[in-house]
Amino acid sequence: MLAEGSEAAIGLLSSEEDFAEALSRANVVVVDWMAKWCRKCIYLKPKLIKMFNEEFPQVPLVFVDVNAVPGKLVTSNGIRKMPTIAVYKDGKKVAEHVASETGTASFQKVREIVQLALL
């Protein structure tokens, strides 16, 4: 379920209903498709939270553990690698970034795709 607050709503989604609710709550929503066992996911999570709180406080950032939700949710969103940071606008995925690059390059790419979605 999503957390509320003055900063970006940040939470861990655990069901298809949570996912649908998250996408309906804002024009632009960013979803970090991750896994608890994924070292890159563990590394990126606190840094993404910090970036969103500082740079995009109006954009909800939510996390989906691919092992904790129904497989059809993962496959229907085209997720094949973790972490995948996906940007949804008006409920539809408009961009994604598979964080396989170094941290700095990944953060810059995420910034770019979020800024484009906000236009």
Q: Is residue 78 part of a domain?
A: yes
- Yes or no: say if 95 and 87 are a contact pair by the CB < 8 Å rule: yes
Reported as a single tens digit per residue, the pLDDT across 19-44 is 999 999 899 999 999 999 999 999 89
- Catalytic residue, candidates 31, 34, 41, 44: 41
Active site residue 39: no
Token pair listed for 33: 């498709």
Active site residue 7: no
Q: Could you tell me the pLDDT band of residue 10, with boundaries at 50, 70 and 90?
A: low
CATH code of 107's domain: 3.40.30.10
Token pair listed for 79: 């997720």
Report field, pTM of the whole predicted structure over 0.85: yes
Q: Is residue 89 part of a domain?
A: yes
Q: Is residue 4 part of a domain?
A: no
- Catalytic residue, candidates 8, 13, 38, 44: 38
The total domain count for the chain is 1
Q: Is residue 5 part of a domain?
A: no
Reported as a single tens digit per residue, the pLDDT across 63-89 is 999 999 999 999 999 999 999 999 999
Domain that holds residue 112: 10-118
